[in-house]
Structure 1
Amino acid sequence: MRNFKKLSAFAVALLATVMLSACGNGNHKQSNSAGPKSLNVQFVPSVAANKMEGRAKPIEKMLSKRLGIPAHVTVSTDNNAVIEAMKSKKVDVGFLPADAYVQAHKQGAADVLLQSERYGLKEPGGTWTKQLVHTLRSEILVKKNSKIKSWKDLKGKSISIQSPTSTTGYIFPIAELKQKGFDVTKNCKLVTVTGHDQGVLNVLSGDTDAAFVFEDARNNVLQDNPKVKSQVVPIYFTRPVPNDTISVIPSLPKAFREKLAKAFIAIGKSKAGKKVIESVYDQEGYIPAKDSDYNIVRKYQKIAQAVKK
């Protein structure tokens, strides 16, 4: 009888332990599904970092209001810094361009949440339309009245390019021309510059014969040279490149991701929010995105990397 009482007491204690453990696990899951207690958002600079941070800071209050948690906005030095910060979970949300997103996803650092929208462009004048688009193109610019009339005339010519990680300033034109049988790296003199506006200016000044830039990078030079569009003209456009992303770390719960996506979309639709994102990246809003939207970037990356070798 004494042994039976001891056994009963042990069974009750064991059951209590199991129940407490189950409750603890349930609370843990509930906490995870609720999302983070604060949100760290990081941008890649499109202008000087100090200017960029000042422009992006208002998003902190807008996000905090919609999410009900503190949001912190910072500006990184470059794409790789954002990726590393997301890998170490120091940053929850990164504004990553197409190529950087693909790299981050490959490293298990990011999942795409949203894709940016911009106003479309009417070519060859490069004037803005009222239609929102979620892609852009790369273009090849030359000086007006140049003997270069098509990509076939680029042989032996000098070209201003961006770094090999730039989708529009390197990867897409390099890969697409390779598919046409033209190896830019072997047939042309490549001059790496920093900034698509510098590519435009190099063509304008005659420092290079052509430039690989995003469509329409000439708009970034208009303020200093209102006549640039009549002096520098496009001769080739690549297929569309998917727009920049708002990406999140993989550990961010699904329910919170949905809440975050709604918050960013709402910010893009609000008058105050639109003003901020226009000043930061010339973006007009956001739409849902999926990883497969960026398969074309992966395909062109492989081609460009093979050409580089």
Structure 2
Amino acid sequence: MTWKKAAIFLFVLSLLFLAACGDSDDSSGDDNSSDGDTYVPDSLTVQFVPSQNAETLEARAKPLEDLLENELDIDVTVSVSTNYNTVVESLASEQIDVGFLPPNAYVQAHDEYEAADVLLQSQRYGVNEDGSNTDELVDSYYAMFITRSDSDIESIADLEGTTIAFQDITSSAGYVWPAAALLDEGIDPLSDVNPLVLQGHDAAVTAVLNGEADAAAIFQDARNVVVNDFPDVFEDTKVVAYTEPIPNDTISVQTNMDEEWKEKIQQAFINVGESEEGREIVRDIYTHEGYVESEDSNFDIVREYSERIQEQ
């Protein structure tokens, strides 16, 4: 080999060596960037479950966009899912960043899809028998069965063979807790009653009023949602029974969101709930009175109830 050929050979060899080093550095950089697999949102999508008429709920929730944008300094889009499962699936497919999830929907998103981390739980005022609020903020609520006032149904045992208006099977107050109460009485909620699955607790109350259902499983006291359309709803219906307490709803986020941003979003919702304007909005949406920090262990009772229902 001549010195000229040797020089060319060494030059090519050095280029290959540098290229290999460059590939190695790039590969290392890729590994570091994917270690945490987190993302920083440049905009925020927030979705609610349709606990009442979806169009009405979305109109009530839209003003949250401006308040959250002021808190976070990024664009915020608020929407309402078509049903309870959709918001869970949207989190799992990374189509939304934040979900207002009822307890059972949160557990499904967290445990089954590994797609949600709880940030906050809502606070509500307790509710009296007549539907009025107590003066105490609570971190749980009840589901209840209602029927028409002139109905012969006086207890859960009397519900066997009747038509009951339920919500989606992931609705804590609209199905899971009421179904467990039926099971406690030896009544299968799928075969020993005629389940009528509706979207929105307002629709369930209306179904009882118009005779479409003999009873309805609703959150306490969802009759307030329809009182403007049915002023006599409290006289025309009666409470048959209450369930055991249910943990309040969550505000949950994508598990792979940047931790700093999780904290920012958490504080933003706390601030919104503490402001006069913000509290009025969240009260109008879900009767929330603000938000407090939460943790996953608060929902172990939800897991117990879910297992009971799945075993039926």
Partner of 1:250: 255
Partner of 1:128: 133
Gaps of 5+ in 1: 1-8
Q: CA deviation at 1:286?
A: 0.8
Q: 2:108 aligns with which of 94, 97, 103?
A: 103
C-alpha change, 1:188 and 1:81, in structure 2 (3 Å) is closer
Q: 2:41 aligns with which of 36, 61, 64?
A: 36
Matched, 1:138 2:128: no
Structure 1: distance between partners of 2:268 and 2:300: 27
Q: 2:300 aligns with which of 289, 292, 295?
A: 295
The correspondence of residues 112-123 of structure 1 with structure 2, limited to 5 A, is 112-123=118-129
Structure 1: distance between partners of 2:294 and 2:85: 22
C-alpha change, 1:34 and 1:102, in structure 2 (3 Å) is closer
Is the 2:201–2:222 Cα contact (8 Å) retained in structure 1? yes
Q: CA deviation at 1:46?
A: 4.0
Partner of 2:209: 204
Structure 1: distance between partners of 2:28 and 2:70: 32
Of residues 130-139 and 234-243 in structure 1, the stretch that sits farther from structure 2 once superposed is: 130-139
Deviations 1:7-40 (A, max 9, x none): xx9xxx99x979x8799689959x9889333322
C-alpha change, 1:142 and 1:263, in structure 2 (3 Å) is same
Of residues 188-197 and 259-268 in structure 1, the stretch that sits farther from structure 2 once superposed is: 188-197
Deviations 1:141-187 (A, max 9, x none): 12225332221222333322223232212211111331343334343
Work out the number of aligned pairs and report it. 300
Matched, 1:172 2:183: no
Structure 2: distance between partners of 1:217 and 1:73: 23
Deviations 1:68-89 (A, max 9, x none): 3333333332333322332232
Matched, 1:88 2:93: yes
C-alpha change, 1:296 and 1:72, in structure 2 (3 Å) is same
Q: What percent identity do the matched residue pairs reach?
A: 41
Of residues 137-146 and 189-198 in structure 1, the stretch that sits farther from structure 2 once superposed is: 189-198
Of residues 298-307 and 200-209 in structure 1, the stretch that sits farther from structure 2 once superposed is: 200-209
Is the 1:95–1:244 Cα contact (8 Å) retained in structure 2? yes
Matched, 1:239 2:275: no
C-alpha change, 1:187 and 1:26, in structure 2 (3 Å) is closer
Partner of 1:3: none
Structure 1: distance between partners of 2:63 and 2:181: 39
Is the 1:34–1:255 Cα contact (8 Å) retained in structure 2? no
Matched, 1:151 2:185: no
Partner of 1:190: 195
RMSD of aligned Cα (Å): 3.4
* 3-state SS, counterpart of residue 99 of structure 1: helix
Partner of 2:230: 225
Matched, 1:275 2:280: yes
* 3-state SS, counterpart of residue 123 of structure 2: strand
Give the TM-score taking structure 2 as reference length.
Answer: 0.81
Partner of 2:74: 69
Is the 1:46–1:280 Cα contact (8 Å) retained in structure 2? no
Is the 1:34–1:256 Cα contact (8 Å) retained in structure 2? no
Q: CA deviation at 1:270?
A: 0.4
Q: CA deviation at 1:140?
A: 1.1
